[in-house]
Amino acid sequence: MNTFIKKYKHAWVLLYFFIYAPWFVYLEKTITTNYHSVHIKLDDYIPFNELFVIPYYLWFVLIALVVGYLFFKDKKEYYRSTAFLFIGMTVCLFIYTIWPNGQDLRPDLATLGRDNILIDIVRNLYRTDTNTNVCPSIHAFNSIGICIAVFHTNSLKDKRYITIPTVILAILICMSTVFLKQHSVFDVISASLLSIVMYLVVYVPDYAKVFEKKKESVKSTIS
């Protein structure tokens, strides 16, 4: 048991969800009507399409598979990817908190003139997920983050049968957020901009060298 705990002690990072979940639920319950409605002209030209509910929900599978793989196979990339995802998600929650936002794009599903199992799934999605706390889109941000993680993982980045489907699915997930009217295009743009910032913070600096230099500086000072 001690060996198992020592080997997988990096699971402590996942304790973040004890912060994220209550915070997000609180926002979902408190930000209901008094919010800034996010909308740009491009949103009006994008039709609702229930087929996109499939990649929308595959988001959960994508996140679980990649983070799970890194957890067991590449601890360094696991730490970098979770830092990217969790810090970015915290930034999103902070934005929702200080700038309550939402969208009023959802169609009346009863007036679409069609009914099928995908419509039923979307109807349940609308019922369980509010139309608030949308900008930036966490769905889009995390999808981009997972792509970055895959392309920075040595055991994955050269396997086109993994990288190409990952990119395609991430693009479809981002598209799904606007075709399901879960988000404005502006939410996806904001998520993309946040991804750039987080990439510069998490992936560009060589923190190992930074910490090593600080360590050497401390040793020289002491000596």
What pTM was estimated for this model as a whole?
A: 0.92
> Which DSSP category does 48 fall into?
P
Residue 42 lies in a domain: no
Residue 44 lies in a domain: no
Task: Report the distance separating Cα 21 and Cα 128, nearest Å.
Answer: 15
Residue 176 lies in a domain: yes
Coil, strand, or helix at residue 101?
strand
Task: Report the distance separating Cα 146 and Cα 170, nearest Å.
Answer: 8
Residue 77 lies in a domain: yes
Residue 19 lies in a domain: no
Task: Report the distance separating Cα 192 and Cα 169, nearest Å.
Answer: 16
Residue 136 lies in a domain: yes
Domains contained in the chain, number: 1
Q: C-alpha dihedral over 116, 117, 123, 127, to 10 degrees? A: 160
Task: Note down the domain range covering 139.
Answer: 50-102+122-217
pLDDT in tens, the chain (223 residues): 677 778 889 999 999 999 999 999 999 999 998 999 999 999 999 999 999 999 999 999 999 999 999 999 999 999 999 999 999 999 999 999 999 999 999 999 999 999 999 999 999 999 999 999 999 999 999 999 999 999 999 999 999 999 999 999 999 999 999 999 999 999 999 999 999 999 999 999 987 666 566 655 555 656 5
Of 10, 6, 48, 24, the C-alpha closest to 134 is 24
Contact 133, 102 (CB under 8 A): yes
**Count of beta carbons in the 10 Å neighbourhood of residue 136:** 26
Q: What element of type H or E holds 37? A: strand 36-37
Residue 11 lies in a domain: no
Residue 90 lies in a domain: yes
Phi-psi map region of 205: left, alpha, beta (phi>0 left; psi -120 to 50 alpha): beta
Q: If 0-12 CB within 10 Å is exposed, 13-18 middle and 19+ buried, where does residue 53 land?
A: buried
Coil, strand, or helix at residue 216?
helix
Contact 181, 174 (CB under 8 A): no
